A and B are shown apart, each in its own frame.
Chain A
Amino acid sequence: MNSWEPKIIAFLCNWCSYGAADLAGVSRLQYPVNIRVIRVPCSGRINPKFILAAFRHGADGVWVSGCHPGDCHYIEGNYYARRKFAVLKHLLEHTGLEPGRLHFSWISSAEASKFAETAREVVEAVRAVGPARHFIKTKPMWDDIETPLQAACQAEVG
């Protein structure tokens, strides 16, 4: 159990958060390595399908980050995204997804320190809820994850 590390899929907007991640790297800011970045053209590009697919393939958490409201490269993409995210997050949590798994943030390309800090926050939140036990269809090819998963399943069966 101790060797388990959360695996988090981060959808980062090309015009801001992705740049912030780059800047964080260039500035040698430390942040956890549990994040797998997927670059998207805008947070408005995020379809709920993507988030569910990430969970289905074994992600312990998903983090979506885009530009601050008003700063969207496409003028208003993140405004629409914000409504979608609110509704989706409420729905997923209503149907039993733990609140620590799905995260959203606004990070501009200059906010490298906010990026590093948010990354730490997200990783810690996902670590706190533990390995994903729901939504997984494709079993993760990672022994460290399977062992606690099996233990959790065993505990549930009793």
Chain B
Amino acid sequence: MHAYTEKIREAAQRLLAEKKVDGVIGFRMGTIPMMSEPVFIRHADQVNQLVWNGFCGVNLANYLVKRKDRVAIVAKGCDSRNIVLQLQENQIRRDQMVILGAPCQGMVDRRKVWTFLKGRDPLQATEDGASLRVSGRDFDEVLDRQAFLQDNCRICTHRNPVIYDELLGDPVPEQTGVDRYEDVRRVEAMGFEERWRYFEDLIASCIRCYACRNACPMCYCPTCFVDESRPQWVGKTLDPTDTRTFHLLRAFHMAGRCTDCGACERACPMAIPVRQFTKKLEKDIKELYGYEAGVVPEGRPPLDTYRPDDPQDFIK
């Protein structure tokens, strides 16, 4: 994967020198281990900041919305699907972007590593193929990388970018035989009261910071429904009803648009598995309308179109 770093730097250098782009959106090392941070490189002499590793989970497509300049962007499989959606929704034009596609092996969930370390402070984290080495003052652990992937990466079926100008490495084999909706079906097997409780417990710790909304590349309304005040559709308190209304509406806005990139979940300071809402929608959209978000650039999103014979057995 570190071969990508060289390729990203080389491409950034070249594109900036040829003035094909005004900037490059990529990652640089974060200030603490396992936290690569997004960076915007505008000058060729800064390209050495760019890196690629297993901690680049942030969805960079978030920085594309309503851009006016030309940029190069490093895109994993999920990021590239978000770029497709933003093209469909006219948030950016294709000729404004040079997409550096990064076939992805899944991103490491820093929280899982922290949990494993039980309070020991990691000072360095490096990867070597399928292993992840975390070391600190008086420990040195070699972990199985696959076991510490983000939940959404473990069930990812689109690891290779669907849209790109340059590919940073050979396409990786897609995961087969993954059960994407195991947890959704577990909830579907519950009774209604049990479901209500399940989600009540799920969002009980929500502090309504809206980090999930801000991290999401598909959330770009000029005025978000949570900020509307006349009329105020969503209360701003921590009342369970308000919190649930927020989560339901946020999820509903993702219907047919969510690529399950996991940005919401990794941004959540309370570690709420908010994908439980969006995954149900993803499953329904797939079952009802046979649509998968951001896979094909042509066509319209499922809630922006219709077929005369859409299922309507729930309507009297």
Contact = CB atoms under 8 A, between A and B. Distances in A.
Contact of B241 (A76, A121, A137): A137
Contacts, number: 109
Contacts of A48: 248-249, 252
A65 B8 CA distance: 55
How big is the B interface, by class? Answer: 35 or more
A82 interface: yes
Interface in B166-217: 184, 187-188, 192-200
A82 B306 contact: yes
A52 B233 contact: yes
B303 A97 contact: no
**For the complex, would chain A's binding face be called helix, strand, loop or mixed by DSSP majority?**
helix
Contacts of A106: 315-316
A105 B252 contact: no
A70 B235 CA distance: 37
Nearest to A56: B241
B239 interface: yes
B308 A96 contact: no
Contact of A95 (B199, B234, B303, B314): B199
A113 to B, nearest CB: 13
Interface stretch (A1-9, A34-42, A85-93): A85-93
A76 B305 CA distance: 10
Contacts of B249: 48-49, 52
A5 B245 CA distance: 25
B50 interface: no
A118 B315 CA distance: 11
Interface string A128-149: 0000001111000000000000
Contact of A91 (B194, B198, B251, B302): B251
B306 A76 contact: yes
Contacts of A90: 280, 284
A83 interface: yes
Contacts of B225: 49
Given A84-B303, A85-B315, A94-B187, A52 B308 contact: no
A91 B281 contact: yes
Contact of B252 (A87, A99, A104): A87
B306 A96 contact: no
- Please provide the 8 A-B residue pairs with the shortest distance between their CB atoms, ordered closest to farther: A96-B196, A79-B306, A105-B316, A96-B195, A49-B233, A137-B241, A104-B315, A95-B199
Interface of B: 184, 187-188, 192-200, 225, 233-235, 239, 241-242, 244-245, 248-249, 251-252, 255-256, 277, 280-281, 284-285, 288-289, 302-304, 306, 308, 310-312, 314-316
23 contacts: A48-B252, A79-B306, A79-B310, A82-B315, A83-B310, A85-B314, A86-B310, A86-B312, A86-B314, A87-B281, A89-B314, A91-B280, A92-B248, A93-B192, A95-B277, A96-B194, A96-B197, A96-B199, A96-B200, A97-B196, A98-B192, A135-B244, A137-B242
